[in-house]
Structure 1
């Protein structure tokens, strides 16, 4: 398996330029399980960046990293992987279907992190082809955190293919969130994810949305921050979310969660409870 190592995080300017270029090219590559691995060893956490991330997502200060924060640190490697000439899909237009994070133990906020990213094998989907980007974080050579980002490359699809989905728990609201129109820009500043669909109405309309939409990983982080404030989070757990309908900005949404024998089901709905934006489940390990 070829490996590319970095001494520092790749810059977003060059990464986005490569992403646009990769979208315009025609891939000539057959994916397999021995694809490119990207490594960023000895990554230090910028404490000002961490504070900005906590502020926009709602996580309280504490000695450990928010469970979703390592995803932000791995995201530049995601972009680098998807813009590499060997990558088989065009990055712009890829749809984020779901995300699964496993925290094996809390990560100290001052820890030095070894981040590794690679892509998984493809599989059929009713609307195209699904693939995963797998990330892991090691501290002192021990795996402490993993992330599976499941993405869809649209095509004619396979009508007989199975779409792996969480069931809707149909929860009553425990909170109402009023989301401002600049939320996407605020999260982009904290995460580096400056996809145009999240930033402004005009840039989102260029991609077929009526106005800008919230980042899916912001929604996951905000949901977990809300659960943490209400009842705390275990030290070791797996949490998966499925992204359903885009969450337009500005908007008012309902958030609900329910804990049963340690398993927490949660969801984000629109103001009338007619549309489901996100469904998630947390399971202690």
Structure 2
């Protein structure tokens, strides 16, 4: 892996401009390239994120928050000239977070991102976007996001490793996903993908309405689970199903509190929005 260490986190504006200009697939191999950078945790920004995602005040960072700290580096990787797929149009299929140690007393982290495991898919090809966060003691947090690029042709059969349908879950809570949540989440995360901002911009990409960010759905779910989950030594994996159209109401079904369990986010008419599980890191 060819690592580039940045002096400061990237600026979003030029990266979004680069993403807007690249609309074609330019290859079928992932670059051996990664970016890393030291980032500071801003308490005011964390507080704004908590409010948008429904997290209670806590000395611990939300388990999803390092994704926000890494977003600029992810943009830089996915819009690099050597990256073969256009950022606009990538579909987030799956997300797994691992929290190795409690996320308390965190003021600075070293964030690193790279992509690997390009594989055939029934609709194109998938790859894993890997993000890590380290503190002075070493690896603290890690995430893998499975991304789909439609239209890529690779040799080989597509694997089917879908998460199992949850069993022994019951309704825990429900909440409304308001029409403006895409814009509100964009302001705290930096993710201004047009499909999340308004019905008008979403229609440009084939969606009749704006849809909620997948990582907002996951964050809002973890906020609702609260003390259901251990603070560390935990892996939380979700698979995104049907998007949450805005505005709408969703219902969270979950196992009882414990070291492992399952979750199921549904909409009206039993629409599956997200399935997932949590378990100790193995």
- Same-fold call, TM cutoff 0.5: yes
| Displacement after TM superposition at 1:105 (Å) | 0.5
2:105 and 2:264 mapped to 1: Cα distance?
28
Q: Which residue does the alignment assign to 1:185?
A: 183
The answer as to whether partners of 2:102 and 2:231 remain within 8 angstroms in 1 is no
| Displacement after TM superposition at 1:152 (Å) | 0.4
Distance 1:260 1:140, change over 3 A: closer
1:214 and 1:136 mapped to 2: Cα distance?
25
SS of 2:117 mapped into structure 1: coil
SS of 1:30 mapped into structure 2: coil
Q: Which residue does the alignment assign to 1:199?
A: 197
Q: Which residue does the alignment assign to 1:6?
A: 6
Greater mean deviation of Cα atoms: 111-120 or 164-173: 164-173
| Displacement after TM superposition at 1:108 (Å) | 2.4
1:112 and 1:62 mapped to 2: Cα distance?
18
1:254 and 1:55 mapped to 2: Cα distance?
19
Q: Which residue does the alignment assign to 1:38?
A: 35
Deviation readout 1:199-223 (Å, 9 max, x if unpaired): 0010001111111000000011111
The answer as to whether partners of 2:99 and 2:140 remain within 8 angstroms in 1 is yes
Task: Please give the residue correspondences for 1:58-69 in structure 2 after superposition, counting only pairs within 5 Å.
Answer: 58-69=54-65
Task: Please give the residue correspondences for 1:1-285 in structure 2 after superposition, counting only pairs within 5 Å.
Answer: 1-24=1-24, 26-28=25-27, 30-31=29-30, 35-41=32-38, 43-155=39-151, 160-169=157-166, 171-229=169-227, 231-259=228-256, 262-273=259-270, 275-285=271-281
1:151 and 1:182 mapped to 2: Cα distance?
25
Unaligned runs of 5+ in 1: none
SS of 1:174 mapped into structure 2: strand
The answer as to whether partners of 1:180 and 1:251 remain within 8 angstroms in 2 is yes
| Displacement after TM superposition at 1:6 (Å) | 1.4
1:110 and 1:30 mapped to 2: Cα distance?
36
Task: Tell me the TM-score normalised to structure 2 length.
Answer: 0.93
1:190 and 1:213 mapped to 2: Cα distance?
17
Distance 1:271 1:173, change over 3 A: farther
> For this pair of structures, how many residues does the alignment match?
279
1:198 and 1:260 mapped to 2: Cα distance?
32
